[in-house]
Amino acid sequence: MPPSGSNPHDASAPLLEVFASYQGEGLFVGQPQTFLRLGGCPLRCRYCDTKHSWPVAAAGDESYVTPFQAILQVASAEWAQGPLPRPISVTGGEPLMWPDFLIGLASVAGERPLHLETAGHDLDALERVLPVYDHLSLDLKLADDLAPPVGGVDLPATAADWDALRPRQLNLATAHLKRGGTASIKLVVTKATSTHDSSAFEAILDDLERLGKELPLFLAPESPRDPRVAFDPDVLASMDGLVAAALERGLSPRVLPQMHRTLGVR
Ligand code: SF4
């Protein structure tokens, strides 16, 4: 097991990078933020653009930092952009692999708002962490976009597994709204799941209609690696079908490609 202290201040996690940039997705798109990328992810999204984040570094690896060490790196990255604190987006990898670190980070982050970008696969970890975070960006997954997960028998693998998780994911997200936080949902639309209609997303849309109407819904067409390349026409056609299906259910979809790729920044 990777090191994890009982005191959240001491809990460590493998830190891959800290950098200041602009939020490229979701509710806070365009906002100057400091990004803190943790290593380790048990999921295997076929469209993942951070595959280097998948491995979990061995215990004792020099990449492990405490929350306090991480916040020093955040302050350093902020200083390079002008010495003003920015919101911190914790991303990965899958940050929920490190709940003690995430909680510890909240206790040393000062006035900086904390944002969590996650697939929400570990509901217990999500429930523990959310109360000390300001914003949840929840990436709802389609099983067809995933290869089998790695690292545990309890990990969601099938469409039925994800369908079973989703109501509690959405309940946690809406509870976060009720206690004054913000939360949004992201659906990635890929060529693999492009059927020129919304059929691949029906179960998710039904759950959102039932349990998450108040959650802003961002539809993210899989972005070409090269921003000069046009979006895949199948993906765009599917987007239209998905938007129509979301509107029919009283949801408020917004189509938002990954802006950081358009800007050519991290
Ligand atoms: S959850 Fe995120 S880091 Fe993990 S495979 Fe999917 S896109 Fe990549």
DSSP state of 200: G
Q: Which CATH number belongs to the domain containing residue 30 in this structure?
A: 3.20.20.70
* Mean pLDDT value of segment 160-184: 97
pLDDT for the residue numbered 237 = 83
pLDDT digits (tens, 9 = 90+) for 237-248: 888 889 999 999
226 in a structural domain? no
Phi, psi of 108 (to 5 degrees): -120, 5
Domain total of the chain: 1
CA-CA-CA-CA torsion sign (46, 99, 127, 220): negative
Q: Is 45 in the pocket of ligand 1 (CB under 6 A)?
A: yes
259 in a structural domain? no
Q: Is 168 in the pocket of ligand 1 (CB under 6 A)?
A: no
238 in a structural domain? no
Cα 202 from Cα 248, distance rounded (Å): 12
Q: Which atom of ligand 1 is nearest the CA belonging to 42?
A: 4
Please tell me the distance between residue 42's alpha carbon and the centre of ligand 1 in angstroms. Answer: 8
229 in a structural domain? no
- The percentage of residues in the chain with a pLDDT greater than 90, rounded to a whole number, is 73
How many CB atoms within 10 Å of residue 46? 13
Give the residue, out of 37, 44, 45, 49, with the most ligand 1 atoms within 8 A of its beta carbon, to mutate for a pocket test. 45
212 in a structural domain? no
| Per-residue tokens: 217 | 């819904």
For 125, the domain range is 13-190
pLDDT digits (tens, 9 = 90+) for 97-156: 999 999 999 999 999 999 999 999 999 999 999 999 999 999 999 998 999 999 887 899
Q: Is-contact 138 169, C-beta < 8 A? A: yes
Please tell me the distance between residue 50's alpha carbon and the centre of ligand 1 in angstroms. Answer: 7
Position 177 pLDDT exceeds 70? yes
Give pTM, 2 decimals: 0.93
Q: Which of 8-17, 86-95, 101-110 has the lowest mean pLDDT?
A: 8-17
Q: Is 91 in the pocket of ligand 1 (CB under 6 A)?
A: no
88 in a structural domain? yes
Q: How confident is the model at residue 259 (pLDDT cuts 50, 70, 90)?
A: confident
106 in a structural domain? yes
Q: Is-contact 156 121, C-beta < 8 A? A: yes
Q: List, in order, residues 6 or more apart from 5 with CB less than 8 Å away.
A: 11, 12, 100
* Mean pLDDT value of segment 72-95: 91
pLDDT for the residue numbered 1 = 43
Amino acid (one-letter) located at 98: W
28 in a structural domain? yes
**14 DSSP β-pair partners:** 64
